[in-house]
Structure 1
């Protein structure tokens, strides 16, 4: 009897350990509520805790993640004026980070700003989510960006590896359109929205080369930079060429902007020590893709 009891306890602990390891995200939620004009500031600490638990406390995939493999990220919320008690307008910035193989360096894979999120929140309320239907604007947005972050991370390790997660993100967008909440539908006035991002990432054939560039830049570029620099630089150039091709057909797409928002400073830094012919070719490409950062890219040539 004692042995059976011990066995049940052991199996329970093993199951708990397995579930813990299956959690994929390690996100920090940061909330700026200076503009909220409310005395009930405790609600924002509760919101932070609740959002982090929702993102980090569940399994989003069937893959197993050890604690050190979890995907790091930040969700930065800037709360705007409150229209009424419990109703919020917010800007959301999503950042996801991945380690570079063989180094202590971490690279930002995604840096996206969503300027139009409206939601209702009551302290300590449970956040329910169903991937097959729209329940509320909190769980849909948090889940959408969880799958977007997963998709970008998987894309950085294998060619189009993020497809299963982008498919779910696309389903979330489709389900949320019935809510008539901003950000879920096409908009001529708001290009930085959820619908525009998933369209570029998942359904647009024009933007497909950028998905390949994410893999080339990270797995075949940054991950090889320490051990095979010549090959790494070649693949980084190839990635920039793919982005340039997509940008020529559809200039200033939100996916191109998101990639360059995450990478422009990093690209400038890693290319400063590259051979001059690599720097020259890269700068010519970068000036066409992202002319707003022309000074940064021209400085690459100075070493």
Structure 2
């Protein structure tokens, strides 16, 4: 009997150690006057449970492997008891850089004028090929987008299975009356995020994430930062290729929004020819921020590099033991 109890306890403990995929900070706030604040606390608790305590894949993630980020909703109107209009839903994804204390932003985006329903106490339901409501489908879409970008940064084309799930969610949501799901609305919504990453014409975008992160940032703490920067430059050349296929793609814009400042800091210490190449690429892709990229020519003043050279407690000394490496996940 004692052995059975010990086995049962071990299984429960193991399910905690190897469990859900996400460690997402969830925030729901409101500027609506005269409404019960408890409804927003309830919504935040329900979303936190939906996001962080649900299994989204068939894989078990260790605590140090959990994907980190934040999802924030600011409600500005409540037309009825169950209907809400958000000023925005803000989405951010972060990734640890191997063998360093540095964390890189992978996604920093907002969806504005967002309508959804929420019934206090009602379960939040989601199925990949079924549209229940705008809230759960939107949250699930971004969670699989998180999974896709994270996996893409660890292995070649690693995000493809999750990008396909994003596409399935978009397809199921075509019957929704809410904006954000249709091709004809604009080219900056969830439909086009899914389209970009599932379109063979933009296949090079998958290479961007892998070269920039695993072959680039993850090697910046090594003795050969030249090779690491070369891999990041290769990623930016792939980004340029994607942008030349079609300008103003949401996949390119979101990458640049997340990485522009980081790119400037990385290449401030590069050789002159390398600097000029990066400036040319980034100014072509993102001409509105030309002045920012011109800063790469400035004198060396790179605090970012110091973080790459600082190993945090618990870091490993070789890539085979990289605690964040999910390249061995097979689909």
- Return the TM-score normalized by structure 2: 0.85
Match of 2:19 among 11, 16, 22: 22
Residue 13 of structure 1: aligned partner = 9
Is 2:142 the partner of 1:137? no
Cα 1:284–1:162 shift into 2, 3 Å? same
Alignment of 1:153-172 (within 5 A): 153-172=150-169
Match of 1:114 among 111, 119, 135: 111
The ranges of structure 1 where at least 4 consecutive aligned residues each deviate by more than 6 angstroms after the TM superposition are none
CA RMSD of aligned residues (A): 1.5
Contact 1:233–1:278 (CA under 8 A) maintained in structure 2? no
Cα 1:288–1:173 shift into 2, 3 Å? same
Match of 1:205 among 200, 204, 207: 200
Residue 224 of structure 1: aligned partner = 219
Residue 297 of structure 2: aligned partner = 301
More helix by share: 1
Match of 1:268 among 261, 264, 267: 264
Match of 2:189 among 188, 193, 208: 193
1:121, CA displacement in angstroms? 1.0
Greater relative contact order, per chain length (Cα 8 Å cut-off, separation 6+)? 2
SS at 1:44 equivalent: helix
1:84, CA displacement in angstroms? 2.1
Residue 288 of structure 1: aligned partner = 284
Equivalent pairs counted in the alignment come to 296
Gaps of 5+ in 2: 300-331
Distance in 2 (CA, whole Å) between partners of 1:291 and 1:101 is: 31
Distance in 1 (CA, whole Å) between partners of 2:44 and 2:54 is: 16
- Return the TM-score normalized by structure 1: 0.93
SS at 2:39 equivalent: helix
1:237, CA displacement in angstroms? 1.0
Distance in 1 (CA, whole Å) between partners of 2:34 and 2:3 is: 53
